[in-house]
Amino acid sequence: MSVKTERTVVTGIASVVLAGLIAVLKLLGGTLAEHTFLFFGAREAGTGIVELIALETSKQTKAPLEAMHKKIWLVDSKGLIVSSCKNSLQHFKKPWAPEHEPVKDLLDAGKAIKSTVLIGSPRVERTFTKEVIEAMASFNEKPLIMALSNPTLQSKCTAKEAYTWSQGHAIFASGSPFDPMEYNDKVFVPGQANNAYIFPGFSLGLVISGAIHVHDEMLLVTTEALAEQVKNKNLDKGLIYPPFCNIRKISGYIAANVAAKAYELGLATRLPRCDNLLKHAKSCMYTPNYRSFR
């Protein structure tokens, strides 16, 4: 099994973002198909996230992937990506250029399509301005703001800005860590969309099953397994990812689900399948126990 490093990183970002979106539906209501996504950033990392969201939405609705193109919109440095600019687009952007009049910037794009979710991936700091956040809050009861850039200095906006500019209505997650903050006597806990939620468990699932290929359905089951680890007590604080202190438990659960999918798809080579994949995954984890010396 050989996967290019760049593609693997993109896949990890996409998986953790999608997991957050699935988890947050408990707060926002509706299904993925009922929300409208606006992406600032149309490089391969951004379109990689888009493709996985479209794949999961298509899986849930049984609708073709093409049906997702009017629910997922991208903005690059020249404005909203639409069909009239297709001839000048890179190949990975072209599928995401629906019919729409040109829109020059992120603020006007959000207003035009009434996005419920705003996601930013390129390293261009402070692009989620006060006007952009206020607009999102004006047509959404609980806008989801995902400012994925890192390091912290290159974040699209800070957690404090997202919460204060939305008057405490935004749900915020970022690529960089931000401390919890209090606003109007309520404590908000920002989530961090970190690849470390995905890679240990996903890789372990491949190893314990002896998978010979990585299939899209393995990525989807990874995101679903991560989302299932988000509890109501986390969501009550606006946290759309499980606490990172539980990473071993999270990774074991993901590994078991990935391995199960590998066996289901006929891609596993470690036969026969063991009866309890979760127990087996945990037993294969390295535990750093050291002898004490005096």
pLDDT in tens, 194-218: 999 999 999 999 999 999 999 999 9
DSSP 247-280: HHHHHHHHHHHHHHHHHHTT---S-SPPS-HHHH
Residue matched to tokens 């979710």: 117
DSSP bridge pairs for 74? 39
Q: How confident is the model at residue 4 (pLDDT cuts 50, 70, 90)?
A: very low
pLDDT digits (tens, 9 = 90+) for 235-244: 999 999 999 9
- pLDDT value, residue 11: 81
DSSP bridge pairs for 235? none
Which has the closest alpha carbon to 255: 204, 199, 198? 204
9 pLDDT more than 50: no
Which of 52-56, 118-122, 126-130 bottoms out in mean pLDDT, i.e. has the lowest?
118-122
- pLDDT value, residue 36: 95
6 pLDDT more than 50: no
- Percentage of the chain modeled with pLDDT above 70: 95
- pLDDT value, residue 202: 96
286 pLDDT more than 70: yes
8 pLDDT more than 70: no
Which has the closest alpha carbon to 211: 272, 278, 263, 282? 263
- pLDDT value, residue 1: 40
Provide Rg for the chain, Cα atoms: 20
Average pLDDT, integer, range 182-199: 94
pLDDT digits (tens, 9 = 90+) for 79-108: 999 999 888 888 888 888 889 999 999 999
Which has the closest alpha carbon to 69: 42, 51, 88, 49? 51
Residues in the chain: 294
Read off the amino acid at residue 92: F
| 192, 177 contact by CB (below 8 A) | yes
**In the 8-state DSSP scheme, what is residue 167?**
T
